[in-house]
């Protein structure tokens, strides 16, 4: 039950971050790393939106309880866990 609430909180925070990017830019300002890596014209806006999308995705994965299988799928090639049994 707790994972559902955590997932809802993460999803809501991610949606708020994506929708209200300009509010975050006004209140927290530009972030130098985003400006350097993502371009000088809209780097911080894009960075805030990317963080929001990642939070949305993590919230959905947490809510559905598929975190373990997602991590095995994501890190399987590095950890060699997804090889078929012989």
Helices 21-28 & 2-19 angle (0-180, nearest 10): 80
Q: State pTM to two decimals.
A: 0.78
pLDDT tens, residue by residue, 39-78: 767 788 999 999 999 999 999 999 998 888 888 888 887 8
Element (H, E) at 75: helix 67-79
- Average pLDDT of the chain? 87
Encode 16-40: b = buried (16+ Cβ within 10 Å), e = exposed. ebbeebeebeeeeeebeebbeebee
């Amino acid at each position: 039950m707790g994972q559902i609430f955590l997932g809802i909180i993460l999803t809501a925070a991610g949606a708020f971050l994506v929708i209200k990017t300009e509010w975050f830019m006004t209140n927290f300002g530009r972030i130098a790393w985003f400006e350097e890596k993502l371009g000088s014209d809209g780097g911080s806006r894009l960075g805030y939106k990317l963080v929001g999308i990642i939070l949305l995705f993590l919230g959905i994965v947490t809510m559905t309880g598929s975190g373990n299988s997602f991590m095995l799928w994501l890190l399987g090639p590095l950890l060699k866990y997804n090889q078929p049994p012989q």
